Structure 1
Amino acid sequence: MTLKIYGIAASRAIRPLWAAEELGLPYENIPLHYASPQAKAPAYLAINPNGLVPAIDDDGLVIYESLAITMYLARKHAGRVLWDGTPRQDAHILQWTLWAATMVEPLTTQFAQHSRLLPQAQRDSAQAAAALAALRKPLAVLDAHCARQPYLLGDSFTVADLNVAAVLHRLADLDAADLAGVAAWHQRCVTRPAAQRAFALRQKTA
């Protein structure tokens, strides 16, 4: 076994864990908690100098940033699942992944922090509400797209779906009846057997 994935599943490490499960890769999960002293210790800082999770060591190749990791794993194993490797698909995978990182994740993080992640005294309901309001426009774009086809790139699940669905998972309990396309697409993604195996790890390491 050469692939090591650092980070508890109840963190952004869920993304490379899900990708590894989709690809059928053997891996070792080192359940490093993002808030633990070990994440800032010299041994781990030599792997990820940011002191954050996740990071991977794939037979000596070290990569951090969760979305970069998932794309690396999918691209390395192109043709197996998640990534066909055509220039057209490359462009759309990058498009949706960068869209998730720039248009959506800052807002989902703001919402999650001020609705449940921060200590009660530090939460600001106005910031949570502002994040939800700002999310309406990008989510409407995604909803219109999902209404036309089962997955982001067409009929097949790819790493683009994995990345966007994982970013949006913090909104899984959001009541948004007017986003039926997003809801149905997200359900198709997170009920995949590989996703269920990865998310089951959260119960063990949370």
Structure 2
Amino acid sequence: MLTVWGRENSSNVKKVLWLLDELNLSYQQINAGGVYGKNHEPLYLSLNPNGLVPCLQDDDFVLWESNAILRYLAERSAQQAFWPASLQQRAAADKWMDWCSNSLTVPFRQVFLSLIRTPEAERDMAVVSAGMAAFEKYWAIADAVLAKQAWFSGDHFGIGDIPVACYADTWYRLDIERQRHPNLERWYQQLTQRPAFQKRVMLPLS
């Protein structure tokens, strides 16, 4: 039995729950982190000593780090759409997962944590502006790629789209002024038609 530890409104947990639903896999979820606590208790720390979510249990096997979990689930399922037979196709999609972590995580925190989780009187708008500028730079890169291919994973939706999409969803639902990135917007609108995306990612911002 697959078990996912983590709260629904965590971007990294969203990734995992979304893929599980896309793969049509059975699992149980245990809310942990944030208001739910548990992630600094001895039981959880015995699974993930970092005290972060998500954490996956597959019977006796334990795995943490959200992108590692995505790769594991995709290969475990052996579904062609998420784990193609071609090494190059897998690598081409996989690079976007690392790109997302290395490029978008810091500006996401600067913008999202400031505008959603920080009281207005305590916000540092210089930090928000820096995050916005970084996002626009990286979205321009993404938009140029999506002018040449339908998805980050290639011709079809796949594992490479999932991490980027969790940040993009927040970006497009924040009450902010944005530059136009038509190819990115087209890609995002396609995502909003996916039932698993609607269920697991398009949650109230909190």
> What TM-score do you get using the length of structure 2 for normalisation?
0.89
Aligned 8 A contact 2:2 2:58 in 1: yes
Give the SS at the match of 1:134.
helix
Query: 2:55 maps to which residue?
Result: 55
1:160-202 per-residue CA deviation (whole Å, 9 max, x = no partner) reads: 01121123332122543521111110221243122223237x5
Query: 1:94 maps to which residue?
Result: 94
- Which of these residues, 183, 186, 191, is aligned with residue 185 of structure 2? 183
Flag structure 1 segments of 5+ consecutive residues without an equivalent.
none
1:117-139 per-residue CA deviation (whole Å, 9 max, x = no partner) reads: 23445421110111111222211
- Runs of 4 or more consecutive aligned structure 1 residues displaced over 4 Å after TM superposition: none
Cα distance in 2 for residues equivalent to 1:60 and 1:91: 28
Query: 2:169 maps to which residue?
Result: 169
Query: 1:10 maps to which residue?
Result: 9
Q: Which amino acid aligns with 2:2?
A: L
Give the SS at the match of 2:15.
helix
1:50-90 per-residue CA deviation (whole Å, 9 max, x = no partner) reads: 11111110122111111211121112212353221321012
For residues 41 and 119 of structure 1, do their structure 2 counterparts lie closer, same or farther at Cα, with a shift above 3 Å needed?
Answer: farther
For residues 35 and 123 of structure 1, do their structure 2 counterparts lie closer, same or farther at Cα, with a shift above 3 Å needed?
Answer: farther
Alignment of 1:193-204 (within 5 A): 193-199=195-201, 202=203
Aligned 8 A contact 1:7 1:32 in 2: yes
Alignment of 1:1-206 (within 5 A): 2-11=1-10, 12-173=12-173, 174-199=176-201, 202=203
| Aligned length in residues | 202
Cα distance in 2 for residues equivalent to 1:120 and 1:39: 28
> What TM-score do you get using the length of structure 1 for normalisation?
0.89
Cα distance in 2 for residues equivalent to 1:38 and 1:119: 26
1:100-121 per-residue CA deviation (whole Å, 9 max, x = no partner) reads: 1101121112111111123445
1:147-168 per-residue CA deviation (whole Å, 9 max, x = no partner) reads: 2222123321100011211233
Flag structure 2 segments of 5+ consecutive residues without an equivalent.
none
Instruction: Give how far 1:24 is off.
Output: 0.4
